[in-house]
Amino acid sequence: MNRSAAQLAFVLAVGSPVLAAPTASAVPAPLLGRWLYGTLSSIEYYDRTTDRWQDASGASEIVTFSPGGRYERTRLLSLTTYSCTSKLFVYEKGTVTIEGNRLTYRPAEGVNKGYTCSPSNRWSTTDLKPETWVFRLEKDGHGADILVLQNLKGDATAHYGRYRP
């Protein structure tokens, strides 16, 4: 056996933290379940200025953490400015890795699609990238659970409450 084959055999037998792909970690019990961020009205509104019905604007995300390191996320953004309505829909599921206070989504499947100002200006892709967030758990003024996610740059923070359909 040559040296490269021997090294590969060693890595396969023993494993290597440098070469091995990240594995899903167990999701801590306080994170398990469904979480909701944002609000998005499901109805249109009447704009008296333009004398027309307009699409609702807003953003919403529902994320579900399951035991064994699985997750599922659904995100929707709808933004109307004057006569331009843009929409974004992202659905993904995969594994979540938790290391200390960092949470990394690793999508295995999903879709990112939407349009800008008109459905004829649409796009769709299944190329979803991993995302890493810093997380912490808090309680609101009523004692309810709050999941706080902050991007690694520290310039975006989202507060999630327990999802209750």
In the block, which residue shows the tokens 């996610």? 149
Structure tokens at 6: 């021997």
Instruction: Please report, for the chain, the start and end positions of each structural domain, with discontinuous segments joined by +.
Output: 34-162
Task: Tell me the average pLDDT across 34-60.
Answer: 78
* Rounded CA separation 112/124 (Å): 6
8-27: pLDDT as tens digits: 333 333 333 333 444 446 79
Task: Tell me the average pLDDT across 93-121.
Answer: 96
Predicted pLDDT at 3: 39
Model confidence at 36, pLDDT cuts 50, 70, 90, reads very high
The pTM (predicted TM-score) of the whole model is 0.76
Q: Where are the alpha helices (DSSP H) in the chain?
A: 3-14
116-138: pLDDT as tens digits: 999 999 999 999 999 999 999 99
